[in-house]
Structure 1
Amino acid sequence: MAGPPLIDIRKLCIGFRGRAGTMLPVLHEIDLTVCRGQSLGLVGESGSGKSTLALAAMGYLKHGLQKLSGEVIHDGADIFARSASELEKIRGGRLGLIPQNSGQALTPTLRIGQQIHEALHLHCALPEGEHEARAIDLLAQVRLPDPQAILRRYPHELSGGQQQRVAIAMALAGEPDALLLDEPTTGLDVTTQAHILELLRDLAAARNMATVYVSHDLGVIARVCDRVQVLYGGETMLTGPTAEVLRDPAHPYARGLLASIPRLSDRTLPRALEGRPPPPGQRRRGCAFAARCGLATETCHAERPPMIAGAGAQNTRCFYPDRVAGMDAGGGGAVPGHGASDGPAALRLADVAVRYDRPGLLARLRRVPRNPATVEGISLHLRRGETLGMVGESGSGKSTILKTIAGLMSPAEGRIALGDGSLLNATVEQRRPDQLRRIQMVFQNPDDSLNPRQTVAEILSQPLRLYFGLRGKALQGRSVELLETVRLGAHYLDRRPGQLSGGEKQRVAVARAFAAGPEIVLCDEITSALDVSVQAAVLELLNDLKGLHGTAFIFVSHDLTIVRALSDRVAVLYQGRLCEIGPTAAVYGAPSHPYTEVLLNAVLEPDPEHTPRLLTEDAADLSPPARGCPFQRRCPVKCGRICEVDAPPWQETGDGHAIRCHIPLADLPRRIAG
């Protein structure tokens, strides 16, 4: 161990008071140690206690929680014994936090510059006159283009990935001794994620900073963490060096998590763990994982296993660590059903363009040239029963295209038509009820689309009443059918969103979308906030619904492994322009567009020996160039002036695969090295 621990958590128990007045544990006798320069990863499904543990390391407990016993020692003193004024100096300063939801860290009514200046004023010893330069340097470190322009913007003027990078910059402003990261790269695209993780690794090494990562992405854990601690049901199940845990975990639960991860080299759907984790606060005997474990015996159900030595340097809470290596982890899911490649069209987009800028009267009178359109020249089709994946970095226009199809934004140019040829009116307000019914959307954050005051029954009843006129028993019966379709059940009807886990909320959102009987479902990053097991279950659910109803999906995701597992075809976007489109196997094979290669090279694998290949000092631009190839400023194989002047042509490779590039197909590289 490198010196004394900076954070030392000893036998920590945290709980809440139940209806009967008894204290129910959320965290049970947790030990955690991290020294300066070390990096620890906390993994586990939603509800396992990861975020609660990370926040407790800062001396913070969510409303209703209490510390029942144990200690949280920071730099030699119990943080829960410190005064409020001492904690104010520590939090944001010596202890930095990067939350999962950047909206929790950014004030919507303040410009980015004001918020970073506030962090510098509170936690940085720099003179006031140097704050501007420091703020620009922080934004540049997290790969934000044109930092001076970003400082003048409000949070809503940035993409989700850009907001998260601002939150990271704010956490680094206080030059912390320890950095706690709660799903820090959830909202980031693959290239930005890889660069941010490299930055955080370098900063931690340069400052001898301790880091604790909470993440459901085992690729992230593999890239940045020295050690891993696996939590389940508020207990530590496994600890050990990252390489050992990810290569040959000594606990059945960790083995099941690894089997739930989609792989870039494999198109099969990952298989979710059977069953569900115990609810927080549940009193139980025996092993917390016994109900879902393939090795469980009567002893496992009756007695709580101690932490013992497992394989290598791992410590495991299991009676039978010697049997874990030979167990079936449940991997190797089914290959997703293919959509009809030549079936009837469900949707057509022709030369669609979308603009965010609205020039004022003076600019129009002076005929000031407008900036290039945010999205331009999008022409594609979607067939019935097909899943079209859309990939690209933040700001590539994926969500903008979905919102335009859904009628939440108006196209500046082009046409959007249903498969029968009927044109879709531009906005939701202008569309007929039958048009609204046929296209439904599931958003990234279900909290943004589920009314917290309504029960699940009320949420599902709205589309059933509006489109089908259902009432009474027919309404209730159909609601139950929808819940069973998404594997929930009738007992969820009386619950409200606040009583559901993240995965359960997302399933309710999917059920509501299917309540309208849609032909097309638009999915915008719907698995990004889910743990790997719930994510696997949602992917399997979407694939089953496609086969059952013949529904067509447009699936937007930053995760290229998920897109490969689920999609029949893939469209690659950069700066609101199509770069490549075709069958999944062709796009992930060879040849590929140089930008597609950059994305594929940046994908993280749950293997510490895997190193992503990145573009050096790479940062996306805020807007596309006025002419030429949109990727010209970053392309590692740029041809020359032709890329700056002429729009690249489409080149067909066959089987519906097309690449938009000046480089001849025969000369396109297999993979771009950084």
Structure 2
Amino acid sequence: MSEPQTMNMKMTPMIEVDNFTLGYTNAEGRLVSVLRNVSLQVAPGEALGLVGESGCGKSTLALAMMAFLRSGSQVQNGAIRFHGQDLFALKPQSLQSLRGGRIGLIPQNAGQSLTPTLKIDAQLYEALKLHSGLPSSQWRQHAIELLQQVRLPAPEAMLERYPHQLSGGQQQRVAVAMALAGEPELLILDEPTTGLDVTTQAHILELLRTLRQELGMAMVFVSHDLGAVARISDRIAVMYAGEVIELGSSRDVLLEPAHPYTRALLNAIPRLDAEGLPPSLPGYPPKVGSITQGCAFASRCSHAQPICSEQNAPMMALAGHQVRCHLSGHLEQTEAASNVVSLPVQSTDEPLLLLEQVQISYHRPGLIDAWLQRPAPVATVDGVDLQLNRGETLALVGESGSGKSTIMRAISGILPARSGQIRLKQDDLNQPVEQRSKALTRRVQMIFQNPDASLNPRHTVFEILQQPLRLYFGLNHDACRDKAAELLSLVRLAPHYLDRMPGQLSGGEKQRVAIARCFAGEPDLILCDEVTSALDVSVQAAVLKLLKELQQQRGVTYLFIAHDLAVVKAIADQVAVLYQGRLCQVGPVSEVFTGHHHPYTRTLMNAVLEPDPDHQPVIAGDDSPEQHPPARGCAYQRRCPLAEPRCKEQLPPWQAHQGNRIRCHLELDALATLIDRPQLIKAVNA
């Protein structure tokens, strides 16, 4: 596929943000600026990436391009024009027809944006009714064409399904189809790939690139994933504290960053070719409205000079792009690898968690099943053998639906295994959580992916932390207060946070509170379910370092689920690769990622994105989620480009090399020889 066209600077911009300042009224009744003097343009057919930490104004700016403002907001200065027309001067009826029509939106979480009680056809019909102008007699045929356009298989059958019957990638494709219903000229994408596994993310991004080429749409792509931004964007705007601080082509911004903040973001990204944890940015972004003079990044910048705190730099042209920095052009390039944080491993050879021939199924046979003697469906997870030593981190990796969270649910007691053994030292974990003793429950704790969903919004941080302290240790109010302050100190938060509500915290602060609550029970084993996937790169780096330091101090053991293989490489000691509930490869992180690979492990690694516009991921073919694991042979046989006849009939044997175990019929030496051959890459792409 040819590369999407880049912006012709002589073209009339489709959308123009002109010296735009947006404010909102805070709790004290003062109007503070959340966007400050933002100026940028997007040409027809161009893709612009908006990047920066949480709270920097990316989503606020993107939604303002649809003239959407949250309650209490008002335009203080400037304008946003769509084809020369001021969006904020339009009447409500004109705006309503524009949104979802000529300007489309794809939200972050398709699972939450789709109505769970309506079938896909009804949701597409609604979009067509509002924005297409087609008669109802043509809706079904056009809905089928939209699903075909986003490469969904069996579109007629897909229309009859509910959102929960689709995979995450399929839900996101439906959201894309709904956005295309109005044939938009501009598509705004707000974190469209967050939470997706590496292969699904690669497919969605490739779909968007293809649609952009076929339909000639302009795109504004909001993301904290610089690899995804590099894959889809022609130009990138880096935002900090409501300002654009660097603007230029993807190549200039990502390969030759000129602003210290942009360099710090790139340094904070974990990479498959680097060892250790990436460095995090010191401090936090400033509170909205707190910066009245000088550079907003000065307090966190290691290169800051007195002038940086006294005067805010104007946007200046440098090396083909624009930079807002007094020191631009005078900073030496810094290598990310030189700043890698290395923490010694504190694991022992003492087994803590043991899984033996674990089989897990969501199917619960009823009386009718027994009466009709229906055979039980193939188990969701089968034949899993894992050992996790004290003080060690074991990562479970694989695509969505591979069984990672299912295994974690079984360990936590939410979904007991159908057969096999799950033991925490000598204690049996293969029992429902409500039947476990308080002491055993305390020893196994969990940190969830989304702290917003796991922290009670009506409780203060102190009330959240005192619950496990009272439950497990029976502490009184004063003792709880002291211990809660100690826990906050453990996660680098000051005691005054005890009286705050979750809504008053940033995303990273919420996750730190969730970690503190988890450690309140003094557990032996902590289950980490995608704990950094929703965080921006700088906060992610800080949370990863915090988890590693706490592991060293407390000797806890982590079972870590993540889609980002570079994050796994940075934090894990051991890696287990799962495909459709079957283990493909288990071994030390260094061997799994740099030694011999199972074909599926290579598929996952090939799909990893890098913050480099020249990087070309190798994308494997889709596997329909309704396909159950085959009853015989290798679980990966349907997608493996190296599959042989015996792969369909015989279960592959385990082969070991330096602690790295691979389940495959091909000999290890043959795998090492074949895995990188051009014909394999071609076959995987087919």
TM class by shorter chain equals over 0.9
Identity of aligned residues (%): 53
For the structure 1 residues 192 and 619, does the alpha-carbon distance in structure 2 shift closer, same or farther, using more than 3 Å as the test? farther
Of 70-79 and 439-448, the range deviating more from structure 2: 70-79
Secondary structure class of the residue paired with 2:618:
coil
In 2: Cα distance, 1:626 partner to 1:240 partner: 53
Q: 1:169–1:383: structure 2 CA closer, same or farther, 3 Å change rule? A: farther
1:487 match: secondary structure: coil
8 Å CA contact retained: 1:271, 1:331: no
**Contact conserved, 1:339 with 1:568, CA < 8 A, in 2?**
no
Deviation of 1:290 after TM superposition, in Å, equals: 0.8
Tell me which of 488, 492, 495 is aligned to 1:487: 492
Measured after TM superposition, the shift of residue 363 of structure 1 is: 4.0
Distance (Å, rounded) in 2 between the aligned partners of 1:145 and 1:484: 51
Q: Does 1:660 align with 2:656?
A: no
Q: How does 1:102-501 map to 2 (within 5 A)?
A: 102-125=110-133, 128-129=136-137, 131-132=139-140, 134-136=142-144, 138-139=146-147, 142=150, 150-310=158-318, 312-326=319-333, 332-340=339-347, 343-419=349-425, 421-501=426-506
> Which amino acid in the other structure matches residue 542 of structure 2?
A
Alignment CA distance shift 1:616-1:428 (3 Å) = closer
1:548-627 mapped onto 2 (5 Å cutoff)? 548-616=553-621, 622-627=627-632
Measure, in 2, the Cα distance between the counterparts of 1:450 and 1:144: 36
CA distance in structure 2 between the partners assigned to 1:2 and 1:100 by the alignment = 33
Q: Name the residue aligned to 2:4.
A: none
Q: How many equivalent pairs are there? A: 669
Give the partner amino acid of 2:611: P
For 1:161 and 1:536, how far apart are their aligned partners in 2?
A: 26
Cα 1:369/1:330, change in 2 over 3 Å: closer
SS at match of 1:417: strand
Q: Residues 162, 250 of structure 1: CA spacing in aligned structure 2 closer, same or farther, 3 A cutoff? A: same
- Give distance in 2, aligned partners of 1:548 and 1:130: 64
Change (3 A) 1:141 1:559: farther
Q: Please state whether the residue corresponding to 2:614 is helix, strand or coil.
A: coil
Q: Structure 1 residues 358, 488: CA separation in 2 closer, same or farther (over 3 Å shift)? A: same
What is the alpha-carbon distance in structure 2 between the residues aligned to residue 578 and residue 141 of structure 1? 35
Q: How many angstroms does 1:168 deviate by? A: 2.9
Measure the CA separation in 1 of the matches of 2:360 and 2:142.
Answer: 35
Letter in 2 for 1:417: R
One-letter amino acid matched to 1:477? D
Cα distance in 2 for residues equivalent to 1:426 and 1:165: 38
Separation in 2, partners of 1:652, 1:594 = 15
Structure 1's 2 and 617: CA in aligned 2 closer, same or farther, altered over 3 A? farther
User: 2:212·2:218 contact (CA, 8 Å) conserved in 1?
Assistant: yes
Per the TM alignment, residue 358 of structure 1 is displaced from its structure 2 partner at its CA by 3.9
**Cα offsets for 1:609-643 (capped at 9, x unmatched):** 11011225665554322322111111111112x22
Q: Tell me how far apart the structure 1 counterparts of residues 149 and 447 of structure 2 sit (CA, whole Å).
A: 33
Q: Report the CA distance shift for 1:533/1:643 in structure 2 as closer, same or farther (over 3 A).
A: same
CA contact (8 A) 1:2 1:36 kept: no
How far residue 147 of structure 1 moved from its aligned partner, in angstroms, is 5.0
Deviations 1:429-466 (A, max 9, x none): 11111111011111111111100000000000000111
* Separation of aligned partners in 2, 1:162 and 1:503: 29
Match of 2:543 among 521, 538, 541: 538
Paired residues of 1:146 and 1:622 also in contact (CA < 8 A): no
Give 1:123 shift. Answer: 2.6
Q: Secondary structure at the match of 1:647?
A: coil
> What SS does structure 1 have at the residue aligned with 2:244?
strand
Deviation track 1:473-496 (CA, whole Å, cap 9, x = no partner) reads 321111111111111111111111
Rounded to whole Å, the distance in 2 between the matches of 1:329 and 1:302 is 30
- Normalising by structure 2, report the TM-score: 0.93
Distance in 2 between residues matched to 1:660 and 1:142, nearest whole Å: 35
CA 1:270–1:404: 2 relative to 1, 3 Å: same
Kindly indicate whether the alpha-carbon contact (under 8 Å) linking 1:259 and 1:331 is maintained by their aligned counterparts in 2.
no
Contact residue 164 and residue 187 of structure 1 kept, 8 A: no
Residues 469 and 140 (structure 1), Cα distance of their counterparts in 2 relative to 1, 3 Å cut: farther
Q: What CA deviation, in whole Å up to 9, does each residue of 1:349-375 have, x standing for no partner?
A: 122222223455444422333331222
Of residues 212-221 and 642-651 in structure 1, the stretch that sits farther from structure 2 once superposed is: 642-651
Whether 1:37 and 2:59 are equivalent positions in the alignment is no
Contact 2:258/2:328 (<8 A) preserved? yes
Structure 2: which amino acid aligns with 1:315? Q
1:631 to 633, 636, 639: 636
Bigger Cα displacement from structure 2, 198-207 vs 149-158: 149-158
Matched residue of 2:339: which SS?
coil
Paired letter, 1:652: A
Q: Partners in 2 of 1:317 and 1:467 — Cα distance?
A: 52
Given the superposition, is the C-alpha separation of residues 61 and 523 from structure 1 closer, same or farther in structure 2, using an over 3 Å criterion? same
Q: Distance in 2 between matches of 1:578 and 1:457?
A: 41
Out of 81, 91, 102, the position equivalent to 1:94 is 102
Question: Counterpart of 1:366 in structure 2: which amino acid?
Answer: L
Please state how far the C-alpha of 1:502 moved relative to its aligned partner.
0.9
CA contact 1:25–1:282 (8 Å) conserved in 2: no
TM-score by length of 1: 0.95
Identify if the C-alpha distance between structure 1 residues 130 and 350 changes in structure 2 by more than 3 Å, giving closer, same or farther.
farther
CA distance in 1: counterparts of 2:408 and 2:625, whole angstroms: 21
Partner amino acid for 1:254?
A: T
> Does structure 2 conserve the Cα–Cα contact (< 8 Å) formed by 1:102 and 1:164?
yes
Decide which of 649, 652, 656 is 2:653's aligned counterpart: 649
> Which sits farther off after the overlay, 149-158 or 642-651?
149-158
Query: Residues 162 and 394 of structure 1 are in contact (CA less than 8 Å); yes or no, is this contact kept in structure 2?
Result: no
Which amino acid in 2 is paired with 1:647?
A: L
| 1:589-622 superposed Cα distances (whole Å, 9 cap, x missing partner) | 2321100000001100111111011225665554
1:11: Cα distance to partner? Answer: 1.2
- Residue type matched to 2:327 in 1? Y
Q: Partner of 2:423: helix, strand, or coil? A: strand
**Preserved CA contact (<8 Å) 1:337 1:543:** no
Asked whether the equivalents of residues 274 and 337 of structure 2 are also in contact (C-alpha less than 8 Å), the reply is no
Please, what is the CA RMSD of the aligned residues?
A: 2.1
Indicate the SS of the match to 2:265. Answer: helix
- For structure 1, the residue ranges without an aligned partner over 5 or more in a row are none
Cα-to-partner distance string for 1:52-87 (whole Å, 9 max, x where unaligned): 000101111123322222211112211222222222
* Pair 1:581–1:272, CA change in 2 (3 A): same
Which secondary structure state, in structure 2, belongs to the residue aligned with residue 163 of structure 1?
helix
Take 2:429 and 2:442, find their aligned partners in 1: how far apart are those partners?
12
